Structure 1
């Protein structure tokens, strides 16, 4: 699996509209055959920071995502709302999905 985490720092005037701006990109990505998840979170420490956690089945699925027309559209549209270049971690990991946390069990 390709596991990706991206931090987006928005301009204050775009912060409340960020999820609306990325909604078409999010919906299109979630509909991809090779997409495992594409989830947004907002920082509790900095309201202008959003975290995207995404995963793709394999390299081919990740390449299809980056080559899609809606990816290219997003790469052109999103910078207007950003205060800085996004930071990313992208790794291939030996997993197919989420696992239960070993240090804590809820029954």
Structure 2
């Protein structure tokens, strides 16, 4: 699996509109055959920072994502709303999805 976390720092005037701006990109990515998840969160410490956690089945699925028309459109449209270049961690890991946390059991 390709596991990716990206931090996006928005311009203050775009912060409240960020999720609307990324909605088409999010929907198109989630519809990709090799996408496992594509989830947005907002930092509790910095309201202008959004965190994207995404995963793709394998290298081929990740490469197809980066070559997609919706990815290209996002790379053209999203910078207008950003304060700085996004920061990313992208790793290939041995996993097929989320596992239960061993240190905590509920129920």
TM-score range, shorter chain: over 0.9
- The alignment of Structure 1 onto Structure 2 pairs a total of residues equal to 107
Q: Which residue of 2 aligns with 1:70?
A: 70
Cα distance between partner residues in 2 of 1:72 and 1:37:
19
Residue 16 of structure 1 and its aligned partner are, at CA, apart by 0.1
Deviations 1:35-62 (A, max 9, x none): 0000000000100000000000000000
Q: Structure 2, unaligned stretches of length 5 or more?
A: none
- Determine the C-alpha separation between the residues in 1 that align with 2:57 and 2:49: 27
Aligned to 1:34: 34
User: Which residue is 1:13 aligned to?
Assistant: 13
Note the alpha carbon deviations across 1:21-48, whole angstroms, 9 max, x for none: 0000000000000000000000001000
Corresponding residue of 1:2:
2
Alpha-carbon distance between aligned partners in 2 of 1:28 and 1:55, rounded to the nearest angstrom: 14
Mark the runs of 5 or more structure 1 residues left unpaired by the alignment: none
Q: Which secondary structure does the structure 1 equivalent of 2:95 belong to? A: coil
Partner Cα separation in structure 2 for residue 31 and residue 69 of structure 1: 13
| Whole-angstrom CA distance in 2 between matches of 1:96 and 1:90 | 16
Please list every run of at least 4 consecutive aligned residues from structure 1 whose deviation after the TM superposition is greater than 2 angstroms. Answer: none
Residues in 2 aligned to 1:2 and 1:22: alpha-carbon distance in whole angstroms: 21
Following superposition, the deviation at residue 90 of structure 1 comes to 0.0
